[in-house]
Amino acid sequence: MNRIRKRNLFCIAAIVIFMVAANAKIKSNTIPYIYSENIVNVCDSLSKRFVLFFVVIDKIQKSDSLFGFDLQIRYDTTKLKITNYVKGNTLSEFFDIDFSYGLDGLIRGYGMVSNVMAPPSYGDSLLVGFLAEWLGNCPDSTLINLEELNFTSEFKRNYDSLNDGYVYAIRKQNNNILETKFDTQDIKLKQTDSILETQLSIKFPKYHQTNAVDVKLNLKDDLSLIEANMHSGIGIIGNIDSIDNIINIANLNQYNNEIIIDIKFKILNYNNLNNIFLKVDSVNTGECNCIFGVRSDSVRINIDTLKDTLGIYEQKIDNYFNITNDFVEILNPGCFQIAEIYNYTGNLIESVELINKPIIKIYLKDFKAGIYFLVLKTNSNNEIKKFYKYYSN
For all residues of the chain together, what is the average pLDDT? 84
Residues 367, 351: Cα–Cα separation, whole Å: 14
Better-predicted residue by pLDDT, 310 or 242: 242
Instruction: Decide which of 283, 303, 323 is a domain's last residue.
Output: 303
* CATH number of the domain residue 380 falls in: 2.60.40.3080
Q: Is the pLDDT of residue 166 over 50?
A: yes
Q: What is the pLDDT of residue 304?
A: 64
Q: How far is residue 383 from each of residues 6, 193, 337, 339, 373, measured CA to CA in Å?
A: 100, 17, 11, 10, 10
Residues 331, 383: Cα–Cα separation, whole Å: 13
Q: What is the pLDDT of residue 374?
A: 85
**Length reported for the chain:** 393
Count of C-beta atoms within a 10 Å radius of residue 80: 24
Residues 15, 137 share a domain: yes
Q: How confident is the model at residue 364 (pLDDT cuts 50, 70, 90)?
A: confident
DSSP three-state, residue 151: strand
Count of C-beta atoms within a 10 Å radius of residue 329: 14
* CATH number of the domain residue 114 falls in: 2.60.40.680
Residues 69, 64: Cα–Cα separation, whole Å: 13
Q: What is the pLDDT of residues 244-277, one digit of tens each?
A: 999 999 999 888 789 999 999 999 988 788 888 9
Q: What is the pLDDT of residue 362?
A: 82
Expressed as residue numbers, the domain containing 45 is: 2-170
Instruction: Decide which of 303, 320, 336 is a domain's last residue.
Output: 303
Residues 115, 39 share a domain: yes
Q: What is the pLDDT of residues 188-227, one digit of tens each?
A: 888 788 999 999 999 999 889 899 999 999 999 999 999 9
Instruction: Decide which of 140, 170, 200 is a domain's last residue.
Output: 170
The DSSP bridge partners found for residue 107 are 73, 101
Q: How confident is the model at residue 12 (pLDDT cuts 50, 70, 90)?
A: very low
Amino acid at 60: I
Residues 222, 184 share a domain: yes
Q: How confident is the model at residue 391 (pLDDT cuts 50, 70, 90)?
A: low
Residues 232, 98 share a domain: no
Q: How far is residue 191 from each of residues 103, 198, 269, 304, 340, measured CA to CA in Å?
A: 66, 17, 12, 7, 18
Q: What is the pLDDT of residue 105?
A: 96
Percent of the chain with pLDDT over 70: 85
DSSP string, 267-293: ES-GGG-TTEEEEEEEEE--SS-----
Residues 160, 225 share a domain: no
Residues 205, 254: Cα–Cα separation, whole Å: 9
Q: What is the pLDDT of residues 302-355, one digit of tens each?
A: 876 444 333 333 344 444 454 455 777 787 777 888 888 888 778 888 898 888
Read off the pLDDT of each residue in 97-114 and give the average, rounded to a whole number.
Answer: 93
Domain count, the chain: 3
Residues 227, 84 share a domain: no
Ramachandran assignment for 318, one of left (phi > 0), alpha (psi -120 to 50 degrees), beta (any other): alpha
Q: What is the pTM of this model?
A: 0.64
